[in-house]
Amino acid sequence: MASSKSRDSKQDTPPPVPEQLPAPVADSHTHLDMQGRTTEESLKLSASVNVTALVQVGCDVRSSEWAAQQASAFPAIHATVALHPNEAPRLVLGDMDEWAGRGAQRDAGGEAALDAAVERIAELAARPEVVGIGETGLDYFRTGPEGVAAQQESFRRHIALAKEFGKALVIHDRDAHEDVLRILGEEGAPERVVFHCYSGDAAMARVCAEAGYYLSFAGPVTFKANDALREALRVTPLDRVLVETDAPFLTPVPYRGRPNAPYLIPYTVRSMAETLDVELRALCAVLDENTRRAFELM
């Protein structure tokens, strides 16, 4: 890909392709629709480093429909569908400046808008290429106190969908650890729960392990300052550890701040192997197997 240095700032330049992993690994959480490549290009790049399966995550009705459609078109892609915790309050209350919504501004739709959107997510959830309900959960970082009720209501309905359709529940938890665990307990967790971009500490990881939840680690586990997150990784049972990019966000070291994509997951996997002091090939096999088990992939 020809990039002109005079025009592109380094921050916008995609990082180079790393050395390929010694065994196949799945990216358990990505957003191909935000990465500026065709799906074919993304899959080709990923395959070149041994990333052979991707979980494409929906955040609203439109991206959930897209995820399901991509998953039915490409065997390497598996879809999850949901209303993101920042999307639910926007449906109910309308877009507000501080939520920095993507796409057009919308008016407040009230409970009826949430009902209609959940209904559509439920239709998609029934499809076999849809392997999970997510990303759902709570985000108290981006959503202010006025959106919490809608967010929690949406989270409860998504938990119910995961159980109804027997799919994995993919949780987005930002600055909301206690309430996420509390609501999961109140509703009763589905059989398979994945904390995407796990951001809790070792104590919370132990609670999650006890409950049998999967913890998916993203780029931040490579960041120098995140010793607590690496400690959480060390205490997580190896059969509950997943890896993800959450691309285009959270690019691992040494390309932090530049655009992320599934082909960059080798940096995160290598860093995790070092943290865990396990052989790279063995870790790849474990991560791949865990992702397949968590999402019941073929």
Site for Zn ion in 91-120 (CB under 5 A): none
Measured from the CB atom, the residue of 194 and 273 that comes closer to Zn ion is 194
Residues that contact Zn ion, how many (by CB under 5 A): 3
Residues 223-262 interacting with Zn ion (rule: CB under 5 A): 246
Which C-beta is closer to Zn ion: that of 138 or that of 273? 138
**What residues contact 292, with CB distance under 8 A and at least 6 apart?**
26, 53
- Closest by alpha carbon to 271, among 70, 18, 24? 18
CA distance 63 to 37: 15
Q: Measured from the CB of residue 57, what is the shortest distance to Zn ion in angstroms?
A: 5
Pattern 133-152, Zn ion, x by CB under 5 A = --x-----------------
Window contacting Zn ion (CB under 5 A); options: 114-122, 169-177, 226-234, 289-297: 169-177
Secondary structure of residue 58 in the 3-state scheme: coil
Based on DSSP, count helices (H) and strands (E) in the chain, helices before strands.
10, 8
Choose the binding region for Zn ion from 4-12, 38-46, 172-180, 208-216 (rule: CB under 5 A). Answer: 172-180
Tell the smallest beta-carbon distance from residue 3 to Zn ion (Å): 26
Cβ-Cβ contacts under 8 Å for 250 (sequence gap 6 or more) = 197, 218, 219, 220, 260
Q: Which of 172, 177, 230, 270 binds Zn ion (CB under 5 A)?
A: 172
**Least separation, in Å, of the C-beta of 197 and Zn ion?**
6
Part of the chain binding Zn ion (CB under 5 A), chosen from 118-126, 131-139, 251-259, 278-286? 131-139
Rounded Cα–Cα distance for residues 280 and 247 (Å): 22
Q: Is 158 in the site for Zn ion (CB under 5 A)?
A: no
The distance of closest approach from Cβ of residue 8 to Zn ion in the complex, given in angstroms and rounded to an integer, is 25
CA atoms within 13 A on the CB side of 224: 3
Measured distance CA(193)–CA(27) in Å, rounded? 16
ω into 16 cis (within 30 of 0): no
Q: How far is the CB of 139 from Zn ion (least distance, A)?
A: 8
Question: Using CB under 5 A as the criterion, which residues of the chain lie in contact with Zn ion when the complex forms?
Answer: 135, 172, 246
